Chain A
Amino acid sequence: MGINVDDVVVPGDVIQVPNENDKAKFILGPGLRRHADQILVTTSGVLRKKASNVYWVDCHRKRYVPVKGETVLGVVVNKSGDTFKVDIGSSEQASLSYLAFEGATKKNRPDIKIGDVVFAKLLEASRDMEPELVCVDSFGKRGKLGLLQEDGFIFTCSLNLIRKILNPKCTLLKLFGSEIPYDVAVGMNGKIWLKTKSIKESIGIGSAILAAEHLPNEEIIGMCNRVINNLKGM
């Protein structure tokens, strides 16, 4: 019995891909790996397919696995020599050089304390090496990256929810933006930093974001409106 797309798979399952000609290429995403001439499943979840040749396993996750080029939120946990150690929720702490900030030089160090939150991009993320973060782009500009203000609030959620709210089709953050002014930084590692004018608004928007996890898009609109009404009515 073969495994089809949208089936539930468990580690060890072997996937047979339709193979019309030998030269067909396949792209294997997270949860799949090639072993000799077989494709094996390495996580439990639902097998998904995109385009004609992209496969991956979709599952509910909270543990972040660093991927090169993604933007993440991290907490500075240690200062050692010329690098900061940053907790980004992965199995290993990431390193962030103090020179990787806009305008930083050997003499002009950025003012960062232990416990500060930084929004950074993963420069390096491989299986055997420590992930490396930067807070500048390749032109040396900070863009949206860098140190986040202390008067915000940071909370964690599942990685699936992050992908959901960052999806261009999801209107959640825009809906709130049209009614309540707020700043948000969403890290691919399941951390969200939020800053509003009042604590009540922070808690309200935070709870709405968490609540959106199991709601379809149409219901999110209704839910957002109710939360906005509630916040404004108070």
Chain B
Amino acid sequence: MKQPILSNCEKLFIVRAIAEGKRLDGRQMDESRVLHIYFGTDWGCCQVSLGETKVLAQVSCEVQQPKPTRPNEGLLFVNVELSPMGAPHFEAGRQSELAVQLNRLLEKCIKDSRCVDLESLCIMAEEKVWAVRVDVNVLNHEGNLVDAASVAALTALSHFRCPDVTITGEETIIHDPSERDPIPLSLHHYPVCVSYAVFNSGESVAADPTVIEERVSDSQIVCAVNAYRELCGLHLGGNALTNYEIVMQCANRAAKRAAEVVQIMKSALEEDANARAAEKSVGFAKCIQQGKVSALSQKQLSLQLDTSRLRDEASDLVQKKKKHISAEEEVDEINSIKGKDVGELSVVRVGRGSAELLPKQELMKFKEAVTSVARVGDGGESQWVKMESENVSGVKADQEEDSDEVPSSSSDVEVIEEIRCKTKKTVDSIDLSGDSEEEQTVVLNAADMEFSSKKSEDKSTSGKNIRSWYPMKQW
């Protein structure tokens, strides 16, 4: 089956919307969809969902003879499988152009960046090495397969455990997992792909494109970046770009996103390890559990108004309230309050599908307050507490309310008290589990970047970005 043709209406609409900075699903231009990682019961098996795009990865290993040119290195294969399950126009069995491209991109990202320590996979030089194979299956294609596949492959690799081996003279014994605990692979760094769609010959760039945005866009940029902000791969697809700055900007943004993704990945891995240690149930059953009555309906509407305006206004209101209170209180009281109430007010974004359980009195207040809604109809999680209307749980804020009403009236944003940690730079907060074994690590200085030399000069002196290959640039 051929991929259904895209109508001119859709193409034109998307291009116009992107030019205005709007996206169909209400995201910001540089906002990615929600990333979830679930693990199977087996080692090295994980499913990654990026919005509605779903990818499954499974790692397996077997003993093979090494290549004669590299007698003491293990082997790593990456294989991407596109089946009609992902999208009806994918053909089974035959490697399509997209599959080849995906395969190559993943190889570039994982194999060529040498993130897996292949020498540790050697059992006996020139005779026996482990051949590790990563099979990536696309379960659902809703755009940006590259990102989902790279995260899935990498997470599966870091989750995988190889059987333990002992060598006694001529004999090699491969231990059963029940005899000896299998050994995890050693990964030097975590390179993930981050892709962008370029529209209007380089005027607008959208992060994490959906399937329709991918098809309408002029070109796609895929950056493979690790948490150290090292660029491990770059792919430009589609029509030629007219603007070289775009590539630099994308790489810079990709580095930021990669750090976030690696963080999500590590916390997911840790959560799974804890669950296994506590002998709780693990597996994919978790990812199909949804507390919603309409669980099988669309999790998220494909068309959505954007909600960022509400967030911005709510944070303004919080700021106002802070000022308001500080004006009323006496000076010494302010100091004490700042530590407790006012200073700790902050606007926290509540996730799209989330619902807040409100006490009854607050709910009454709430109903009066709620007059406008941005996200509609999606009822949020089912709860046993009876609510007047489904929407109250997933509510949007009333912006015309007084600033005093903020805590109860806003719902897209929720004002809570929280203990504020010292904000760290993302570059620093990353847990570096091992040093990069890149033979040559080229660190670009500000001087190398001609076009950004002005901005970077003052930043490079701060000394915080020494590891970064490219100076931080606000954009």
User: Which A residues lie at the B interface, using CB under 8 A?
Assistant: 75, 77, 87, 113-117, 148, 150-155, 193, 199-200, 202-204, 206-208, 210-215, 219, 222-223, 226-227, 229-231, 233-234
Contacts and interface: CB of A to CB of B under 8 A. Distances in A.
B355 to A, nearest CB: 15
A226 B371 contact: yes
Contacts of B13: 151-153, 199, 202
A135 to B, nearest CB: 16
A210 B24 CA distance: 13
A219 B389 contact: yes
B302 A155 contact: yes
A203 B5 contact: no
A112 B305 CA distance: 33
B9 A208 contact: no
Q: Which 5 pairs between the two chains have the least Cβ-Cβ distance?
A: A211-B377, A226-B373, A211-B376, A206-B303, A207-B303
B5 A77 contact: yes
A152 B12 CA distance: 8
Interface in B261-308: 294, 297-298, 301-305
Interface stretch (B14-22, B53-61, B114-122): B14-22
Contacts of A199: 13, 16-17, 20, 22
B390 interface: yes
Given A152-B13, A153-B13, 18 more contacts: A77-B5, A87-B5, A115-B6, A116-B8, A154-B10, A200-B305, A206-B303, A208-B377, A210-B298, A210-B302, A211-B377, A213-B297, A219-B391, A223-B373, A229-B372, A230-B373, A231-B305, A234-B309
B124 interface: no
B9 A148 contact: yes
Contacts of A204: 305
A173 B10 CA distance: 21
Given A153-B13, A226-B376, A230-B373, A210 B5 contact: no
16 contacts: A77-B5, A150-B8, A154-B10, A199-B16, A200-B305, A203-B17, A203-B305, A207-B376, A210-B377, A213-B297, A214-B377, A219-B390, A222-B391, A226-B376, A226-B396, A227-B373
B246 interface: no
B434 interface: no
Interface in B6-49: 6-13, 16-17, 20, 22, 24, 26
B368 to A, nearest CB: 14
B374 interface: yes
Contacts of A154: 7, 9-10
B445 interface: no
Interface in B304-336: 304-305, 309
A223 B8 contact: no
Contacts of B101: none
B7 A223 contact: no
B399 interface: yes
A210 B373 contact: no
A219 B372 CA distance: 14
A227 B391 CA distance: 12
Interface string B405-437: 000000000000000000000000000000000
Interface residues of B, number: 38
Nearest to A211: B377
B378 interface: yes
A212 B390 CA distance: 13
Contacts of A116: 7-8
A113 B8 contact: yes
Contacts of B359: none
A33 B378 CA distance: 36
Contact of A203 (B304, B373, B378): B304
A193 B305 CA distance: 18
Nearest to B298: A210
A200 B8 contact: no
A80 B72 CA distance: 61
B93 interface: no
B4 interface: yes
B102 to A, nearest CB: 26
Contact of B7 (A117, A151, A200, A214): A117
Contacts of B389: 219, 222
Nearest to A234: B309
A204 B309 CA distance: 14
Interface string B347-379: 000000000000000000000000111101111
A229 B371 contact: yes
A116 B26 CA distance: 26
Nearest to A77: B5
A215 B6 CA distance: 30
A113 B11 CA distance: 14
B303 A155 contact: yes
A133 to B, nearest CB: 16
Contact of A150 (B9, B294, B377): B9
Contact of A153 (B4, B10, B378): B10
Given A77-B5, A153-B13, A223 B303 contact: no
A117 B8 contact: yes
Given A203-B304, A203-B305, A211-B301, A151 B391 contact: no
B22 A200 contact: yes
Contacts of B391: 219, 222-223, 226
Contact of B12 (A113, A150, A211, A223): A150
Nearest to B14: A153
Nearest to A207: B303
Given A203-B17, A206-B303, A219-B390, A226 B372 contact: yes
A184 to B, nearest CB: 13
A200 B377 CA distance: 18
B1 to A, nearest CB: 10
A117 B6 CA distance: 10
A200 B297 CA distance: 24
A180 B473 CA distance: 42
A215 B376 CA distance: 10
B20 A223 contact: no
Nearest to A116: B8
Contacts of B17: 199, 203
Contact of A214 (B8, B16, B297): B297
Most chain A CB within 10 A, of B9, B16, B374, B377, is at B9
Most chain A CB within 10 A, of B12, B20, B372, B379, is at B372
Contacts of A212: 377
